[in-house]
Structure 1
Amino acid sequence: MCWKAAHYMDLHDDGGHALSGMNKSLCTDLMQRAVVDCMRVVGVNALDRRFGLEKSYRESIVFPLYDAGNLAMQQRRAWGVMTDPGFTPDLFVDSEPFGFRKSMEGFGVDTDMS
């Protein structure tokens, strides 16, 4: 999914908002599960600084909060694009352009500031 998002962004400068949000959600979840599974294998020694897992654990917990916006913001952006009437998953599969509009900024978020 990382490759697909990067490839799509290379083709379309301002079109990968939903795909990048989906990618961040997937990678965040995968990273946290992988680190916790490794810690389970190592056991109580996973917290020992000699193994480096404690650092990976801290980074996996903090990752949703930084690096291209927090996770909730990325998910709202992805939901906003996916709920647009003109969106179909085939657009990403076929690397077709799909423009991002202010109304897609977040599903369920009032974007009218008047």
Structure 2
Amino acid sequence: MTTISWNDFTKVELRVGCIVKAELFPEARKPAYKLLVDFGSEIGQRKSSAQVTDLYSTEELIGKQVVAVINFPPKQIGPFMSECLITGFHDEQGRVALCVPDKAVPLGIKLC
């Protein structure tokens, strides 16, 4: 494991957003969704691709708060431009479980 400084950690903008739109991403190499995530009025909405199709349907993603990195540069994923990185953890079968707050928090709030 590589050790980082506190200063390195504070550079990562981990923010809470709410998924407002989720649709299949058929052009992705691995099964994925295209997501639109609202981070509140200060940050606005950002697009992301997430490989969470094993554990979540598009319907259950709508309204879910998620933790995302918002200060990576945009990344082209096939025909789609991802503007943030939704975080999650692999389970024993390799499926991705989303990293979410366990209580509702304000949109755009930074991880502390």
| TM-score higher than 0.5 | no
Q: Counting helix residues as a fraction of each chain, which structure ranks higher?
A: 1
Q: Counting strand residues as a fraction of each chain, which structure ranks higher?
A: 2
The structure number with the bigger radius of gyration is 1
Tell me the TM-score normalized by structure 2: 0.24
Tell me the TM-score normalized by structure 1: 0.24
